[in-house]
Chain A
């Protein structure tokens, strides 16, 4: 664990209290995470020292207005790993962010449980699926959605419902590891189906390499 390199993050949020909370959660991480820069606008991610951070943590509602989704797109196109962190708890926003190439989508109420893990996963180009996002993917009714197996859909919904992989595993009679692998597979399927982006390609490549998905599945 300690052998793993530290992760640098640039936090884009216009609320000082949130920023303080985030830093506190990061400080408790088993693997060091340093907030190298922060700011109330996306500019912080483009200028040093934010420009070289491993992960960009992006709040969707920036007070200075202006559309944040184009900024997300630019960051993704520049090959950055972006974790979207939002007050909004609706599936539409989550799906749009995912489609634009965000590494993951977190609601602020999920911060305490999932922010650290999501950031670390993004830094490693591994998939991560918090419950709110699982709910959004499980109920996705768009025509261009990737085909999921019934089991995968079940796991998504139950993960969203219970927010506890232990409960899901117990209900389905499988191990937590298997629950995780179902969630990862869904995330990869989405990455594979979405808009081509460097981050997505690396996500899929990494997943194949880790044996999460079989190339033939995709």
Chain B
């Protein structure tokens, strides 16, 4: 995947970090043990090999937060395994186990540290195996141990497979979460748009519609109030939806600026004096601008470092991004590169802020975003009607979302980890343990008990696999049965194997049952798994003690196997436990990103809607208001009065659009009729046929002639709505329409449906004007249910 989701990204990071820590810890501990057990004469040479290897580990741990480039990182890891491998012949035969343990762990952890590219991890594993073999050959020439080579190969493959499985589940969780988030976002955006639309209609209603209606109805009264009111109406209509109702903390936003991935990553040094409260509109504009600017640093500045500062200054906020890169001549930026002008400067202008770019070739680049709280006096509050801008409704709070996505991610991660544990159990049981069991069949007393234990364990694995692959949860009863069996196997195997063979090649169960237990106990508290491992090891120790005190050498061998096998299982268990916390972090982070994205989408959509609405008005209402506001049009002029009537009727129709009624078409027609009747026009409204569905944009076109003609009618008109099975006709006949009953201004572009089938016929005979609009219903009569 090109763009991993939050869960997958966090998983890869967690696994990688955990791998480095585990490998380095094991290397330090085992390396120290090796030194202690080595002969004094060999110590200086061993130190020369081991110290650089350990130093390489330390460097890797230190650079976890800011990863080194690929090649040096690979070099460090490669030199570490090579040095460790070469130290084997120096430390002597006793150190075999230590070196093998370190390289074994490294081979496994490389698969997680080097998630990408896989070839790097695999080549490191191959290198580890090769040096291990080389060490073996050097320390005891002619003796090639193919078993340990095989084991390493198997471990590396299993580790890689586990990584792929868990990661694919994380990716799946991310995809599901993303699609859920997308639908939530759409719902939020729709709700917000609807709310703003309502608010806009309310504003229109209180401002322009009221003013125009007054002009339409007025005669010879005092119009001195009109110009200032018309101007205020205009101001109210052109005001952007006010996103200021909701504030955000810019400091939090800036902390989310992505630094980029891989080669394009820019390390940001932030000095942000939070909290910086800012309306979400300008906040998002700054955030988006900074984001674009950071990618510009990676792309053009030639450096990987940038400094981000933000502070408050009287009544405003300043954000500054600077780099010491190669800089450029701002004037010479080609026209087609709109990143600077569009994303950074243009965006800020839209929200009433500013951005400036200072750069010179060779002197780095500095970009500043400035935003100042508008001074209240600059927007006088009009006395008659408040020029209120529609407030942006809050996007729904993301409070419940984290839990949902956390549960989702956690579930998928656990499922993936279970699959991996199952795979490991199967491969170990049938790959290694089965061979051990058959090879040493004579050693067991009795042999049938061990065979039965093996079969029982296989049965448990098969049952669990069946449940898991069918997508079922592991029930608590299944877990109890499974754990009971696993414990019994541990007991049986401990007591039916001669104590001297325990943890040796004959003991097939010692390193195996831990994986089964991990499978069952993964989603339980980690202490249960620890308790199981303790019981398992305790049994072996008990049996050894019962058979008499072991020698020091025996103790050492048992101890090392125990630590390397059980310790590794324990660390994997601890890692899966980390998934819980990781899921919580991933969920929270994706919820935060989600909230940002939602806000951004709402903001975008608001602006788009606002532009569309305003464009609609520019053809009709805006020229009227401008004329009235500047005295170019007189309310005493009948033509002006009638134009106001038409626009008032159109607005009434628009307001009626949102009503929840059975017959919206008739409702909108009535809205226009009421405006004319209020003015004293006698309107005869008649309806025939059964009403049906008509899309809103068709209704707009059907009813618009009614608004136009009625607005210009002086005394009498007849309006009819006729529904036939195939068509709907809306007609208006005016007996005395004022001149120019041609529609004043076309039906605004966005109200016109793109391939409308509405036909409008106009007939004028003397004073009579008859306009009829018809729409052929493509779908035959979808009738409305009468209430």
Contact = CB atoms under 8 A, between A and B. Distances in A.
B722 A160 contact: yes
A135 interface: yes
Contacts of A153: 724
A164 B768 contact: yes
B772 interface: yes
Nearest to B689: A139
B690 interface: yes
B768 A158 contact: no
B552 interface: no
Nearest to A139: B689
Interface stretch (A32-40, A63-71, A77-85, A166-174): A166-174
B718 A163 contact: yes
Contact of A136 (B688, B720, B731, B768): B688
B579 interface: no
B688 A167 contact: no
Given A166-B765, A167-B733, A167-B770, A160 B686 contact: yes
Which of B686, B688, B720, B763 is packed against the most chain A CB atoms within 10 Å? B688
Contacts of B689: 91, 138-139, 141
A157 B770 contact: no
A91 B733 contact: no
Which of A109, A160, A162 is packed against the most chain B CB atoms within 10 Å? A162
A160 B768 contact: no
Nearest to B731: A161
A131 to B, nearest CB: 8
Contacts of A139: 688-690, 722-724
B684 A171 contact: no
A158 to B, nearest CB: 7
Given A157-B724, A171-B770, A163 B729 contact: no
A135 B686 contact: yes
A114 B765 CA distance: 21
Interface in B724-766: 724-725, 729, 731, 733, 761, 763, 765
A199 B763 CA distance: 38
Nearest to B762: A171
B768 A167 contact: yes
B765 A167 contact: yes
B240 to A, nearest CB: 44
Contact of A160 (B688, B690, B725, B761): B688
B710 to A, nearest CB: 15
B783 to A, nearest CB: 9
Interface in A163-197: 163-164, 166-167, 170-171
Contact of B733 (A109, A141, A163): A163
Interface in A73-131: 89, 91, 109
A139 B688 CA distance: 6
Interface string B677-705: 00000001010111000000000000000
Contacts of A53: none
A148 to B, nearest CB: 11
A203 interface: no
A167 B722 contact: no
Interface string B582-599: 000000000000000000
Contacts of A56: none
Given A91-B688, A141-B690, A161 B765 contact: no
A138 B726 CA distance: 11
A167 B735 CA distance: 12
Contacts of A91: 688-689
A162 B772 CA distance: 9
Decide if the interface of chain B is mainly helix, strand, loop or mixed: strand
A161 B725 contact: no
Contacts of B725: 141
Nearest to A141: B725
B729 A157 contact: yes
Contacts of B765: 164, 166-167, 170
Contact of A171 (B686, B690, B724, B761): B761
Contact of A157 (B690, B718, B722): B722
A171 B722 contact: no
Interface in B701-720: 718, 720
B722 A161 contact: yes
Interface in B288-310: none
B724 A161 contact: no
Nearest to B688: A135
A136 B720 CA distance: 12
B770 A161 contact: yes
A45 interface: no
A161 B733 contact: yes
Nearest to B720: A161
A161 B768 CA distance: 13
A89 B725 CA distance: 20
A132 interface: yes
B733 A164 contact: yes
B3 to A, nearest CB: 57
Nearest to A136: B688
Nearest to A157: B722
Contacts of B770: 161-162, 164, 167, 171
A164 B724 CA distance: 21
A162 B720 CA distance: 9
Contacts of A135: 686, 688, 720, 722
Contacts of B763: 162, 167, 170-171
A82 to B, nearest CB: 23
Contact of A158 (B718, B723, B772): B772
B627 to A, nearest CB: 35
B690 A161 contact: no
Contacts of A158: 772
B723 A89 contact: no
A132 B733 CA distance: 15
Interface string B760-782: 01010100101010000000010
Interface in A129-163: 132, 135-136, 138-139, 141, 153, 157-158, 160-163
A158 B763 CA distance: 11
Contacts of A171: 761, 763, 770
A162 B761 CA distance: 12
Which of A135, A138, A157, A161 is packed against the most chain B CB atoms within 10 Å? A161
A36 to B, nearest CB: 33
Contacts of A163: 718, 733
A47 B761 CA distance: 52
B768 A138 contact: no
A136 B772 CA distance: 18
18 contacts: A89-B686, A91-B688, A91-B689, A109-B684, A135-B720, A138-B689, A138-B724, A139-B689, A139-B690, A141-B725, A157-B724, A161-B718, A161-B722, A161-B729, A161-B770, A162-B763, A164-B770, A167-B733
Given A135-B686, A141-B781, A157-B729, 17 more contacts: A132-B686, A135-B688, A136-B688, A138-B722, A139-B722, A139-B723, A139-B724, A141-B725, A157-B724, A158-B772, A160-B688, A161-B733, A162-B770, A164-B770, A167-B733, A171-B761, A171-B770
3 nearest CB pairs, A to B: A139-B689, A161-B731, A135-B688
